[in-house]
Chain A
């Protein structure tokens, strides 16, 4: 357990410098033009194939681009999975003047790096049937908590993730956008009896 704690703490430290985007954008042109988007994606592909593949899959699943344009550089970063993003994080990039200038590339590299760090821990989405099972455990523990969960995340996808913890069952933090529990689930949870699983989540 100490090793896992150190690993998770290490990951937290990697994340601690991230300014998570907290505001929802309402501007109509929150996405880059097709030309800009293609250029950005082709560049991301050269930086991280994993991030590129995830953004492509995200786009296919959500039927919209998973990179959003922000006008203020202080708003750049990651939007943690929330709302109807079905467990995908959204990359928020600033409008770039002089694209491919060294400074701009360096900034993009940093943001893609953050996305890669996110994928390292939160990259594995829990299948919907698994989310439903865990939501039902929460329902058994406290119906009010379950109802509050559903208000923020109807499927549980944004708060329940799969993560290999070498048999350590589960870990918990909180979602930066809504403050609800954020669960990482190890496959060993399935080996427990119902009562033991309830203790894991009650704890």
Chain B
């Protein structure tokens, strides 16, 4: 247990640099509105000046094409730069150039001291504020992605007519995919990695607070270009935006590419921040044996994101260059290679699914101990599991490319590596099941999420076993079977785990108890509807329905009707859950400091969490899993092994 005193902490006097102006300086005047206005103004000015330079109205079809693409691309970049300038991101570098160091008062202002609610609208460095900002952003992105999913299922459910034209349909499936992927990447590592993890390791903030704010606002800047694609003709491609099909899309595709390029910077910065915080800012006494497993999960996901996201970023930079500069990285007629794009994409694409699933799994493993009042089963196996997945995830990406004909012999080694990665994944399942073994569950919503997620993982893993086998993939690749499989893993095991994690830490983050009656109704409606939706989708895939099609054979009608009904019910369930979150946040019962009786450090500080997290930094003397009573069967074992028995005798 940690040891804390109630002494008031006296700050020793540190020589401060000269205070230039009021604390906070330029950041006193910037917030999200100044950011948006500056971004829009700079974008409009750039477009106006650019359209004079780039003659996009003339008859020369080739230059018209490239020139206009370049113009739109530069306009988006101007939006990003303008927004970051308007939110105050450049204040730091400019201050450094001018030689003004941050004083303590500046740092406190930037951390949001004394600003009340307004700190959430500004470039605030306090990790708790950034965590809440990420939570809101995640909810908005899920709302948008979910809305698009409802449109997709409407089209697929109305089998006797076309609701949308094929182009619009192709655009919304692509936009749904990328919005959901972005939302899933940040859903646990963003709100919880930022808000909870530093408190959990006994730190006052993250290692790089200003980079923390930067990573959030870069994400915020990246989203409007992505969403605007629907107004500019759409991306007309799946979320993977394979080239060369992507280069046939209208200019909306540039929004996608700019979004990913900026989002990759945001992710890289956030990953560096998370890893450095976990490695260097743990409380005294928190050796690696005593680190909560949630932190390990966050580190694994951050490492994978940091190493592999640049691959995705490069694939989009090169595709953008093909568009704006008429290069031919991916144009086979001019010497490029379509396989180059696929490789770059899937080099991230595979580790990314682990970036999505690992933090949620780690959070569930963490909270299981609290709700079962049992220590974590085999902490070392959990570490081995996370480490194994992080390492092996680097060498499995070609299993997304079995059918490309790129390297037929590559099927063998990548089948091997794909099966190998199931072993560390199995360690995590062992830890979850072992913790559950002989435990009495406290049936609150976070614990019930664990059961839901394990069920979804079972289905996801067995269908993943099918897909990992090249001969079977020869039938199933590109069919709805794949779509159902990854929804089971990313949504069933990823999103539902995130719901569990958010409902677990909701009291600490918002200071209120979540209304579990409504939240549970929403959750279970969504869970059972999820089974209906995606089991029917497995059937459609087995029957031979390809993916990304809006019209299909009559044989698949029933599967699609059932999937659509299920999807609508998922939507209703999620809306109910969202309603529970919003109403509980606004006027839920105020939460005590430790409603769950948990032993990790974040529950040992008060709610709402003070600015400096802990009045006195804790000293840790054991791991946070000191639950449970001695096993009664252990006494039997002990007696058995201590008692006299003639060698070779039978049972007593």
Whether A and B are associated in the same complex: the answer reads no
Which residue numbers of B lie inside 8 Å of A, CB to CB?
none
Which residue numbers of A lie inside 8 Å of B, CB to CB?
none
